[in-house]
Structure 1
Amino acid sequence: MVARRNDDVREIADREFQKLIYGKDHPYARHTEYAFIDAITRDDLVQFHQKYFQPNGMILGIWGDFKTQEMKKKLAKIFSPWPESYTEIPRPPSVEYAYTFSVHYIHKPDVNQSNIILGHIGTTLDNPDYPALVVMNQILSWDRMFKQIRTREGLAYSVWGYYGAEYDHPGVFSVGCQTKSQSTVKAIRMMLEEIRKIQNEEVSDEELQKSKDRYLNGFVFKLDSKAKIIQRQMTYLYYGLPPNFAEKVKNEVEKVTKADVLRVARKYLHPEHVHILVVGREEEFDEPLSQLGEVHPIDITIPQPQKQMPPPTPEEESQARLLLNQMFTALGGMDSLLAIRNGKWEVQITQNTPMGEMALEGEIWIAYPDQMRIDFNTSWGKMKMLVNSQEAWIEIPGQESMAMPEVQANSVRRSLRQDFVNLAKNFSEWKVQYLGPATWNGIKGEEVAIAKNGEVFHLLLDSSSKLPLAKRYTESGEEGPFEATEVLSDYKKLGGIFTPMKSEVFSGEKKISQTVITQGQYNVELDSAMFKIK
């Protein structure tokens, strides 16, 4: 899910590490963006299905209680109407990799642990050395790193390693851990040291036997059902491996010697040429990451959907600007709007959630153009939300401050950009288009589209008063972007500005939330420190 892909730190690290190994634009490191989804049409899906879903490209596996010949007859009857055709399947993309050393960092301010991954390219399953690599990795990951970093040093709860091998392309060798921020660089140095150690001398007899036993004891669970057996056979057939591939690997694992482990460690491990990736809070690290090498920051901001407004005719633009100037006059006048520096509102918010209706009371402060603070009264104390153009934080009583989820932060920033005061202050920068009479959610008015930098929203203006009746915009939701309609009503004059005291947000016909302003004031005395993010 695009909207939530930065919620889980381990998921972030795994995703971005794939890009370091394969390249950010390589199919093996690709991930979905809103733009990719928006570009897919129904015709694309139909053409893909017609091209690739063909009987000539299928492998069918069946298991259960049946008579083979009878089953074959049934299948022939069922699939015989499906016409044969042939589509050449593209070959797997090639992987070009050059061993090099690099250090990369992703800032994640809402965590108190660092998620670390380091490694390089792996191998393929048909490599004759794969069985020895399996044993070597077991020793390196469990008997060495796990014991040293977690058990003896107590630096991490989670420590792992994996020498990846894929069917049709090289996998990824990676080792990693989650450790407290204050031991980040120490943990990295220890992981590198363990890789070097396993290259310098043979492992012990005990380590070798335990590693083999660990693999062999788990082998039985790979083939403990007919479903698993059939699925493996189908996979091996697809990739051109022998049907007894699993058994061959098992037999070769049993033959691995200490000399084999040393040989493959020296041949396939490259501690001087690893990519190091850390996700965490660098201000709390025990040492600067730059002590390891030049640091390359990675931006994981999720590109929001870009929408373009069709070029308006001169008449459409002229009519839109006329209507919007009339709207500014109706709201209190352009001069009055431009004179607004800030605002304070006491609000009652009702949110419709899957668990039912949730009611909150609180206060909202805005320092134009881009700072907002929201204080909610809760049973455990006052919860604060602080947002500016760069950062967004939540402060909860009795807990550490945490970064606001990106979906929520984007929503607040969008509301600030589209605020009527900011719209007035930046009116010349927005492109506008008159779309004519319209009806939204049963409300009739005149529709105007407004756009800047790939962001488009619409206003529905009262035909008589020219006051805004509703907004329509793309909102950031938990399941992704959706079109929201915000109905504005109960206008009241606050400090010379007509202000909608009630707003209701809908997704289609479904009401999502309601905000009621009980008191409000513009240009109040505000201490800039109240917007300071700790």
Structure 2
Amino acid sequence: MTQLRIPLWMLALTLACTGLLAAPAAAQAPDDVPVSEYDATELTYPELRDFQVPEPERVELDNGMTILLLQDNELPLVNATARIAGGSVYDPADKVGLASVAGQVMRSGGTESLTPDELNQQLESLGASVETGMGSTSGSAFMSTLSDNVDEVLPLFAEVLRAPRFDQEQVDLAKNQQRSAISRRNDNPQQIAQREFDQVLYGEESPYARTSEYYTIDAIERADLVDFHEQYVHPENIILSVWGDFDAEAMQAQLEDAFADWTPSDDAVTPEPPERTADAGPSVNLIPKDDVNQSTIFIGHGGDITREHPDYPAVLAMNEVLSGGFSGRLFQNVRRDQGLAYSVFGTYSAGYDRPGRFYSGVFTRSGRTVDAAESVLEEIRGMREAPPSQEELDQARDAYLNSFVFNFDSKRQILSRLMTYEYYGYPTDFLQGLVDDMADITPEDVHRVAQEYLRPSDAHIVVLGRESDFERDLTTLADNGTVHTIDISIPTSPPSDEEPAAATEEEQAEGRALLDDVQQALGGETLANASALRIVEETTLQQQGQEVVTESRSTLAADGRFYLEQDLPNGITLTIIDDGETLWLQVPGQGTQEAPPQVRQQFDPQRWRELPYLLARLDHEDLTVQATGSETVDGTELHTVRVTPPVGDPFTLYIDPESNLPQRMDYTAMTQQGPAQLTDLFTDYQEVDGVTMAFTTRTLRDGEEAQSATVQEATVNPDIADDLFSVDTEE
């Protein structure tokens, strides 16, 4: 019989660290502050010298690789960045996440001649850095070294680009990191709302909006990374910029030695990014999240222009008037005057080769959600109704022009921009031309582009928040009164076009009979009438090749309340209490706090896999039990019952036909590395006060032992303190 225990891999989800940042005391201002006697308004300043954008030397190798060289002998450093034409938009639909994993393991996985550790050691001994990564439509590789060491580091950088090893251990590590990121993707409200807005705008299957899932990461193999590299990482797809302390002629010779003999494979492609088509609105969409006390709102639609469009400068000015920081209308009216926002923002983006998107966003308290959304929409409409004042336009233009110099605050930034222009075929002076065009924009130009490119009546509205706290229903924002609810639960398996066959009445009746027999075997009326069970259990966990032993003490009441004390390997005792309504966590030094929703989502399915809890609720209307025949396990034929609980994934129980005792349970559970197929094996059945229970439960993951739990002490109908399941949140 399974006990009320919490797998140790789940405990990491329950520990929320808190910290207090003490603000320093304000310094007492002295009474005798000296005051200057001159008039600050009469100060004069010398004229600023003209800013000269450095111009790199452009070299093209015979294999198609483009190189930009910028000599700068100010510091004894040499840096390089490669822009790679490849990215996540080219991932196969069933292997989303491939580019991200490949970009990471290109560097972390070593090279053909060097293991990961050997590569790390060489770079560390030289005080150098080499990093790689893949974004949406392009990837990058970066090198930084002292100029004295460039002869040794440049060949390492070239080998990382040309011949990565893709070490299997590093592939597995990168995949686990991806799974961990997936498990945390619903932690940040702003990131959730941004992600779901993109999916509403472009569609869930769009390469520009889809997300990696556990099953797409699981499908990625090392061979896929090798294929990805051969397809996209080749000289014709790379623009390389090098800057720093070197002689340009000598550096060109070194780069030719490192890359000139590199030829593309037969599988190499020059990619064309897929079209990015926005779905026409309007729509109103709700992301229910009950653990927040403020709403996150995104409002917007697809864009219409690229950066080379003649209207792009006027659209930039329009965006500054509407959303430009403290001087923008959104800040001035929605936040300052109406007090409806903690933060308000917006942008009208445009790509180099495809349109971008327009959106405005606002963070507001839950009770002003609809008011804040309506206020933002009103500001967008106002941009279409009349031109901005000359003062507004001047402020917007000055804000943009005054930030112009920050486009050139590092050599890396300058060359990165020039590589982008090279890649998309833009002139090298594109940014200067944009500044010149901004100077000629008039209020009428801004009004014209606002009428043409802002479409509030077609906007998608995405709201994340606690609906019960909204001051009005979201249907007031929808012309047709329809609000779509967005499910952000994380799937553990790919969607299937085929629905599983529904259990027949005969299968359900047989499954119920088998579980009735199990209840009789485990104690019958004694078990059914037990008010509570108390278990002391020792758990041995297999962790990184070592055994970790802990103890837990749990009390499970017949009504579903429970109390658990779990000793952790670090010596801390975690207490978990379910008072019948709320799941609470108690951590020494941190007090009592309500468990985060993701913890509750893990605990509820776990409880349905506890046999006392399950057998006491066989009449639950949302519970389905289905006899599925028999299966031979280790030479013994066992009855099988598929249990579909009200929450969580189905699991299968294996029952010995002679004793009617459960022998095994197969189920899917969430681990730190994502969903895993687990098996519990029940042995050493003993009777305690008329109740029979398995004193040993071994848990296997993918056939390998993950943990073993042994009952040290068991009590049926223990004396329970009146306040055991009560929580004092003020302690």
The verdict on how the C-alpha distance between 1:395 and 1:423 changes in structure 2, with shifts beyond 3 A counting, is closer
- Please say if 1:76 is aligned against 2:264: no
Q: How does 1:415-430 map to 2 (within 5 A)?
A: 415-417=607-609, 419=611, 422=614, 428-430=626-628
1:151 and 1:400 map into 2 onto residues whose CA distance is 37
Q: Aligned runs of 1:56-455 on 2, under 5 Å?
A: 56-85=236-265, 87-97=268-278, 99-122=280-303, 123-141=305-323, 142=325, 143-293=328-478, 294-305=482-493, 333=521, 336=524, 340=528, 344-346=532-534, 363-365=555-557, 372-375=560-563, 384-385=577-578, 394-395=583-584, 404-406=596-598, 408-417=600-609, 419=611, 422=614, 428-430=626-628, 433-436=631-634
Task: Describe the shift of the 1:280–1:335 C-alpha distance in structure 2 as closer, same or farther (beyond 3 A).
Answer: same
| Alignment partner, residue 715 of structure 2 | 519
AA in 2 matched with 1:416 = W
The 8 Å contact of residues 106 and 298 in structure 1, kept in 2 or not, is answered as yes
Q: Percent identity?
A: 34
Shift of 1:157: 0.9
What's the offset of the Cα at 1:249? 2.1
Report the 3-state secondary structure (helix = DSSP H, G, I; strand = E; otherwise coil) of the residue aligned with 2:687: strand
Q: Structure 1 residues 498 and 406 mapped into 2: Cα distance closer, same or farther (>3 Å)?
A: same
Deviates more, 1:86-95 or 1:107-116: 86-95
Residue 404 of structure 1: how far off its partner (Å): 3.9
The DSSP-based 3-state class of the residue aligned with 1:287 is coil
Post-superposition CA distance 1:421-473 (Å, at most 9, x none): 74896664446533427xxxxxxx999997678968688999x9996677665
Does residue 53 (structure 1) correspond to residue 245 (structure 2)? The answer is no
Between the aligned partners of 2:355 and 2:675, the Cα distance in structure 1 is 36
Partner Cα distance (2:711, 2:355) in 1? 54
| Residue range with higher mean Cα deviation, 33-42 or 290-299 | 33-42
Equivalent pair of 2:313/2:437 in contact (CA under 8 Å)? yes
Cα 1:348/1:290, change in 2 over 3 Å: farther
- Partner SS state of residue 125, structure 1: coil
Structure-1 separation of matches of 2:460 and 2:495: 37
**Superimposed CA distance per residue, residues 2-54 of structure 1 (whole angstroms, 9 cap, x where no aligned partner):** 21211211111111111121122111111112222222233333222222222
Alpha-carbon distance in structure 2 between the residues aligned to 1:134 and 1:498: 74
Give, in whole Å, the separation in 1 of the partners of 2:611 and 2:380.
Answer: 56
For the pair shown, which has the larger CA radius of gyration, 1 or 2? 2
**1:99/1:485 Cα in 2 relative to 1: closer, same or farther (>3 Å)?**
closer
Aligned to 2:675: 481
Higher strand residue share? 1
Structure 1 pair 338/148, CA: closer, same or farther in 2 (3 Å)? farther
Matches of 1:281 and 1:222, distance apart in 2: 40
Contact 1:433 1:450 in 2 (8 A): no
Residue 135 of structure 1 aligns with an amino acid whose one-letter code is: A
| Separation in structure 1 between the aligned mates of residue 336 and residue 456 of structure 2, nearest angstrom | 23
Which amino acid letter does the alignment assign opposite residue 139 of structure 1?
V
State the alpha-carbon separation in 2 of the partners of residues 345 and 479 from structure 1. Answer: 32
Superposed CA offset, 1:57-96 (max 9, x none): 2221211111222222222222244333463334222233
The answer for the alignment partner of 1:312 in structure 2 is none
Match of 2:151 in 1: none
SS in 2 for 1:168: coil
8 Å CA contact retained: 2:208, 2:276: no
CA 1:409–1:139: 2 relative to 1, 3 Å: same
Cα distance, 1:436–1:210 mapped onto 2, change above 3 Å: same
Query: Which TM-score applies when normalising by structure 1?
Result: 0.77
- Where in structure 2 are there 5+ consecutive unaligned residues? 1-180, 497-509, 567-571, 619-623, 727-731
| 1:222 Cα offset (Å) | 2.2
Cα distance per residue 1:216-248 (max 9 Å; x no partner) = 232222211111111111122122222222222
Paired AA for residue 225 in structure 2: L
Shift in CA distance, 385/213, structure 1 to aligned 2, threshold 3 Å: farther
Shift of 1:299: 1.5
Change (3 A) 1:173 1:306: closer
Q: 1:287 to 1:73 in 2, by over 3 A?
A: same
Give the RMSD, CA atoms, in angstroms. Answer: 4.6
Amino acid at match of 1:172: R
Secondary structure in 2 matching 1:27: coil
- Aligned counterparts of 2:592 and 2:404: Cα–Cα separation in 1: 45
Is the deviation greater in 38-47 or in 169-178? 38-47
Name stretches of at least 5 consecutive residues in structure 1 with no aligned partner: 309-320, 438-444
- The residue type equivalent to 2:601 in the other structure is A
Post-superposition CA distance 1:373-429 (Å, at most 9, x none)? 4445899x9964479xxxx95457999996743365135314514747748966644
Contact kept, 8 Å, 2:314 with 2:438, in 1: the verdict is: yes
Distance in 1, matches of 2:535 and 2:527, equals 23
Per the TM alignment, residue 175 of structure 1 is displaced from its structure 2 partner at its CA by 0.6
Structure-1 separation of matches of 2:346 and 2:709: 46
Give distance in 2, aligned partners of 1:291 and 1:137: 27
Equivalent AA in structure 2 for residue 519 of structure 1: T
Q: Find the partner of 2:691 among 497, 508, 513.
A: 497
TM-score by length of 2: 0.58
1:119 CA drift (Å): 0.8
**Matched residue count:** 495
Post-superposition offset of 1:251: 2.5
Call closer, same or farther: CA 1:230–1:393 in 2, change over 3 Å. Answer: farther
The CA distance in 1 between the partners of 2:249 and 2:639, in whole Å, is 69
C-alpha separation between the residues in 1 aligned to 2:629 and 2:340?
55
* More divergent stretch after superposition (41-50 vs 180-189): 41-50
C-alpha deviations, 1:137-183, integer Å up to 9, x for none?
Answer: 12212421112222122222111111122223221211111111111
Amino acid at match of 2:188: D
